Amino acid sequence: MGDMSSTVAICQFRPTASRPDNRARIAEFTADAAARGARLVVFPEYSSYFVDPMDASLAENAETLDGQFVQALQDAASAHDVTIIAGLVETAGERVRNTLAAVDATGLRAVYRKQHLYDAFGQTESDWIEAGALDEPQTVDIDGLRVAMMTCYDLRFPEVARTLVDAGADIIVVPAEWVRGPLKEHHWTTLLAARAIENTVYVVAADHPTPIGVGHSQIIDPQGVVIAGVGTGEDIAVAELSADAVARVREVNPVLRLRRYAVAPR
């Protein structure tokens, strides 16, 4: 695979119910991350608009993929020559979609819509959100590394990550709003590492800070080692990711080649 590498930043940021403020904060974080050498800048789920508990204002503040939020991402990406991945509330008729957009200076490069809705631990995301279709994964290549996306609760379903790896992913990006609760930090960090180990990929996860999220945004290597991360407040962490590292791990741990099960939608 050569010595292809790229520097990635995770931005643990607290979106609010002010869409203009969120866009401004994202521009600031992107400038900071780019100054640290980042080529890919990752933001959490619901970066365009967030309110807790969820209510009808989600639909009122939803946007299309050619709306102000994605345009702001493109402006920031263009200003700093980076690719940005961030979550937005996307218009979808009476409901909304929980969507991730990968954007660079040229515009929208890839889209992912959350497939598994958070109807668990006392929450019912499906009251407001329409689940994404089980489409073929959209990926984006950055410096010779292929990037694919999933969202938050999707992390609990190993099949999602496997479909992304089958699409050639070297890096799985996981924007999240991982809600706090008993053992939730443990579940978050354990599952992030598991998805990296079982698929021999980097996992790049950006969460909301406390008190609503658990924080602990992390960049994890293909052996499950945390190589960069932040605590519970707003912060940025940066790490260099290497295609060589993926190749070396897969040479000694060929789990993808040795597996005997395929993943099929139901």
Q: Report the C-alpha gap between 34 and 85 in whole angstroms.
A: 14
Are 51 and 57 spatial neighbours (Cβ–Cβ below 8 Å)? yes
The candidate with the shortest Cα–Cα distance to 24, out of 59, 97, 75, 83, is: 75
**Three-class DSSP category at 82:** coil
**pLDDT recorded at residue 93:** 83
Cβ neighbors of 105 (< 8 A, separation 6 or more) are 74, 77, 78, 81
Query: Is 90 exceeded by the pLDDT of residue 120?
Result: yes
Question: Which tens digits make up the pLDDT trace of 124-167?
Answer: 999 999 999 999 999 999 999 999 999 999 999 999 999 999 99
**pLDDT tier for residue 94 given thresholds of 50, 70 and 90:** confident
Are 116 and 157 spatial neighbours (Cβ–Cβ below 8 Å)? yes
Indicate the pTM of the whole model. 0.97
Question: Which tens digits make up the pLDDT trace of 199-258?
Answer: 999 999 999 999 999 999 999 999 999 999 999 999 999 999 999 999 999 999 999 999
Q: What amino acid positions are annotated as catalytic residues?
A: 45, 114, 152
Question: Which tens digits make up the pLDDT trace of 169-195?
Answer: 999 999 999 999 999 999 999 999 999
DSSP lists the bridge partners of residue 244 as none
State the DSSP string of 178-247. Answer: -B--TTHHHHHHHHHHHHHHHHT-EEEEE-PPTTTB----EEE-TTS-EEEE--SSSEEEEEEEEHHHHH
Query: Is 70 exceeded by the pLDDT of residue 2?
Result: no
Looking at 87-205, list the stretches that DSSP marks H as alpha helix, in order from N- to C-terminal side: 158-166, 184-199
